[in-house]
Amino acid sequence: MNYTEIMVRYGELSTKGKNRQAFISRLHGNVTKALHEFPDLTIRPKRDRLHIELNGEDAKAVMARLSKVFGIQTYSPSVKVEKDMAKVHEAVLDLMNESVPQGASYKVNTRRADHTFALDTNQMNLNLGDFLVDHRPDLKVQMHHPDYTLRVEVRRDAIYLSTQTIQGALGMPVGTAGKAMLMLSGGIDSPVAGYYALKRGVDLEMVHFLSPPYTSDSALNKAKQLTTKLAPYAGYIKFIQVPFTEIQETIKSTVPEGYLMTVQRRLMLRLTEALAKQRGGLAIVNGESIGQVASQTLESMVAINDVTNMPIIRPVATMDKTEIIKVAQDIDTYDLSIMPFEDCCTIFAPPSPKTKPNLDKTRYYESKLDVEGLMQRALDGVKITEIKSSDEFMNQDQDMISELL
Ligand code: ATP
Ligand code: MG
């Protein structure tokens, strides 16, 4: 079918006035970024729809990219026709033959923005219904829950036809909710948490802690590769790697074993907060899930969360592991996440961390550290790169493992 445009319906647009304008212009920017590989497109944001004129670009390829842009309720590949009923009939028949199989049920649904057009909504519905009775006698008209709806939009410039309404990624355009830092490990949970934060319009920067030589390049590459999987939802993503070796070694030699994990997590959180403040981040997102492991009991959260007043968003806090895994598979991060590279927490994980750390003891053990100095040196060693969806960070042993999978 020679589709001429993709018609995009806005997502959760309950807000009015200024917010509506911000939503639309951010979505316009994000769609433009997501579709930058298609130079011939014309993208026109209007009050109630966004129109992507294809100008010969491939509708399927464009829609594949569009399906990952948050803030889109539904979209329809459409055909633009002159306001001439003979031409409309011809295009309707082509479109129906192409997209509606023998014997299916359908209805015609006309919307008229141009009230000067000769036929009103009802007349248009009847006209096209009669035409289809003659030319597609196999089809059944059905008003309630038809298999297909032929949508006809009479606009000032032309008439637009479509038979498919495809669900978009929903959510809010990324960036409309401000920026937060995602604590990204190499595990299953934090990329899923990132996906959900992006879906609510939160722009993310990744913060990843590494402890060379205890953690390998492969572990770092894995976190970067996970970032490429989230990039189609967000455009470019800044990846901030933070050296954590000195901190972990110091904690290991200073803090009793039961509290190693809790104090490490406090330092991670302190550093993430410091980076957020430096970089205009308003909140922290992590992949904690209540009760999943020792450091994720409510008591642990109390002892860890103690170091910051910044909001911590935990999108997967109340999800079951199987539910999280399902989303990880949908967003294609799962296979990467299960690759067996030790991250800094696994290596320094004590055999039996406290599941109910005491807050006063936690504070006391941490007070034995030169927190400020340790943090300053870690922040001095930060490295920031920008990652996009087409980047590759696999190295040889990872390639081998992916073949084994
Ligand atoms: P994940 O699957 O996300 O690794 P997990 O169930 O393995 O989570 P933990 O290892 O206890 O849980 O980590 C809890 C959260 O702490 C992670 O979801 C992540 O947000 C953060 N985190 C852990 N390790 C790191 C790291 N090396 N760099 C950045 N953030 C981390
Ligand atoms: Mg982990």
Which of ligand 1's atoms lies nearest the C-alpha of 242? 28
Spell out which residues line ligand 1, taking CB within 6 angstroms: 183-185, 187-190, 207-209, 286-288, 292-293, 295-296, 343-345
- Split at pLDDT 50, 70, 90, the class of 392 is confident
Which of ligand 1's atoms lies nearest the C-alpha of 346? 10
Residue ranges of the chain that CATH labels 3.30.2130.30: 5-167
Q: The tokens of 328 are what?
A: 């990880």
179-403 carries CATH number 3.40.50.620: yes
CATH number of 5-167: 3.30.2130.30
Buried b (16+ CB within 10 A) or exposed e, 219-254: bbbbbbbbbbbbbbbbbebbbbbbbbbebbebbeee
- Split at pLDDT 50, 70, 90, the class of 102 is very high
From 337, 309, 307, select the one nearest 401 (Cα to Cα): 337
The pLDDT assigned to 347 comes to 63
Q: The tokens of 374 are what?
A: 């340790």
The pLDDT assigned to 401 comes to 53
The pLDDT assigned to 398 comes to 54
3-state secondary structure the chain: CCCCEEEEEECCCCCCHHHHHHHHHHHHHHHHHHCCCCCCCEEEECCCEEEEECCCCCHHHHHHHHCCCCCEEEEEEEEEECCCHHHHHHHHHHHHHHHCCCCCEEEEEEEECCCCCCCCHHHHHHHHHHHHHHHCCCCEECCCCCCEEEEEEECCCCEEEECCCEEEEECCCCCCCCEEEEECCCCCHHHHHHHHHHHCCCEEEEEEEECCCCCCHHHHHHHHHHHHHHHHHHCCEEEEEEECHHHHHHHHHHCCHHHHHHHHHHHHHHHHHHHHHHHCCCEEECCCCCCCCHHHCHHHHHHHHCCCCCCEECCCCCCCHHHHHHHHHHCCCHHHHCCCCCCHHHHCCCCCCCCCCCHHHHHHHHHCCCHHHHHHHHHHCCEEEEECCCCCCCCHHHHHHHHHC
- Split at pLDDT 50, 70, 90, the class of 399 is low
Does 135 score more than 80 pLDDT? Answer: yes
CA-to-CA distance for 382 and 6, rounded, in angstroms? 43
Residue with tokens 């433009």: 32
Q: For the chain, what is the mean pLDDT? A: 93
- Note the pLDDT tens digit of each residue in 108-121: 999 998 899 999 99
- Split at pLDDT 50, 70, 90, the class of 391 is confident
Closest residue to atom 17 of ligand 1, CA basis:
287
Q: What pairing do the DSSP bridges indicate for beta strands 283-285 and 312-313?
A: parallel
- Note the pLDDT tens digit of each residue in 146-181: 999 999 999 999 999 999 999 999 999 999 999 999
Q: Residues of the chain with pLDDT > 90: what percent?
A: 83
Lowest mean pLDDT among 50-54, 342-346, 354-358: 342-346
Substitution site in 185, 271, 344 for ligand 1 pocket (most atoms within 8 Å of beta carbon): 185
- Split at pLDDT 50, 70, 90, the class of 19 is confident
The pLDDT assigned to 264 comes to 96
Q: Residues of the chain with pLDDT > 70: what percent?
A: 95
- Note the pLDDT tens digit of each residue in 374-388: 999 999 999 999 998
- Residues around ion ligand 2, judged by CB within 5 A, are 185, 187
The pLDDT assigned to 2 comes to 85
183 is in an annotated binding site: yes
Q: What pairing do the DSSP bridges indicate for beta strands 72-81 and 166-170?
A: antiparallel
Contact, 155 vs 112, CB < 8 A?
Answer: no
Residue ranges of the chain that CATH labels 3.40.50.620: 179-403
Lowest mean pLDDT among 51-60, 74-83, 321-330, 395-404: 395-404
The pLDDT assigned to 68 comes to 94
Which of ligand 1's atoms lies nearest the C-alpha of 292? 6
Substitution site in 247, 284, 345, 354 for ligand 1 pocket (most atoms within 8 Å of beta carbon): 345
Does 349 score more than 80 pLDDT? Answer: no
Closest ligand to the CA of 243: 1
Residue 88 CA to ligand 2 center (angstroms) comes to 58
The pLDDT assigned to 344 comes to 67
- Note the pLDDT tens digit of each residue in 231-273: 999 989 999 999 999 999 999 999 999 999 999 999 999 999 9
Does 54 score more than 90 pLDDT? Answer: yes
CA-to-CA distance for 288 and 187, rounded, in angstroms? 11
The pLDDT assigned to 395 comes to 62
The pLDDT assigned to 15 comes to 60
The pLDDT assigned to 402 comes to 54
Closest residue to atom 9 of ligand 1, CA basis:
288
The pLDDT assigned to 389 comes to 84
